[in-house]
């Protein structure tokens, strides 16, 4: 009888440990698997940035360049940032030199250029490849973020490679690609503003809380049972 009681409490203790572990893990499981929030990128300053920090916000992700006819769109993007940032819009710029080699600058030069000419305050990230490496540049591969954004899985209505600088992806608060705007559609175009405001009006998804943990009971030893 004593052995049976001891075995019962041993099993109960193991169950409580498993339950606690599950509660801690379940809250972050979706982020670990999410094609955007599970990724890490580097800022223009070289710091690692976990994209899960943007969860619950509306994102406008843009590939940028300093010497493009569309470079003046930096000003429009900064205006969006100033107007909607507090409402939850996060503009994210990713420099790229794949189109006409129009972004040859270093990270420091890009930062200085953006701030001096356009007063950019929104988040800027390190230079990346937004399309597959077709020129065989050593050590360079397509950004996992853009591998997803350009996929049919992300946005079947308009999938495929980036065609030029300053293409824009609008991401909802729950991490889904809602719209894709090509270079010719400026950030302040009516359709872009409407799409942004529509997404901002939607509530942020509720944060998942760890599963309730069963009340822990003290194990009764065989000696105490006697």
Query: Going by DSSP bridges, is the β-strand pair 58-64/123-124 parallel, antiparallel, or unpaired?
Result: unpaired
What secondary structure does DSSP assign to 151-163, as a single string? STTT-GGG-S---
Max Cα distance, the chain (Å): 87
Beta strands in 16-135 (DSSP E): 40-42, 48-50, 58-64, 89-95, 123-124
Query: Going by DSSP bridges, is the β-strand pair 48-50/58-64 parallel, antiparallel, or unpaired?
Result: unpaired
How far is the C-alpha of 65 from the C-alpha of 72, rounded, in Å? Answer: 10
Residue 61 main-chain phi, psi, to 5 deg: -100, 125
**Residues 18, 68, 96, 114: which is the catalytic one?**
68
**Does the annotation count 68 as an active-site position?**
yes
Catalytic positions, please? 68
């Amino acid at each position: 009888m004593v052995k049976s009681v001891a075995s019962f409490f041993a099993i109960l203790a193991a169950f409580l440990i498993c339950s606690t572990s599950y509660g801690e893990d379940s809250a972050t499981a979706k982020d670990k698997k999410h094609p955007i929030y599970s990724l890490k990128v580097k800022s223009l300053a070289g710091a690692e940035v976990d994209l899960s920090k943007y969860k619950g916000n509306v994102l406008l992700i843009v590939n940028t360049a300093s010497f493009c006819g569309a470079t003046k769109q930096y000003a429009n993007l900064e205006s969006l940032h100033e107007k909607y940032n507090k409402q939850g819009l996060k503009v994210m710029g990713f420099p790229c030199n794949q189109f006409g080699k129009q972004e040859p600058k270093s990270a420091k030069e890009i930062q200085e250029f953006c701030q001096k000419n356009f007063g950019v305050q929104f988040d800027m990230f390190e230079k990346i490849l937004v399309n597959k490496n077709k020129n065989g540049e050593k050590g360079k591969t397509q950004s996992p973020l853009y591998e997803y954004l350009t996929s049919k899985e992300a946005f079947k209505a308009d999938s495929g490679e980036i065609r030029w600088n300053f293409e824009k992806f609008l991401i909802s608060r729950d991490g889904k690609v809602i719209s894709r705007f090509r270079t010719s559609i400026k950030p302040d175009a009516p359709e872009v503003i409407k799409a942004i405001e529509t997404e901002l009006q939607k509530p942020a998804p509720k944060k998942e809380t760890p599963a309730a943990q069963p009340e822990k009971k003290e194990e009764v030893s065989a000696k105490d049972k006697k």
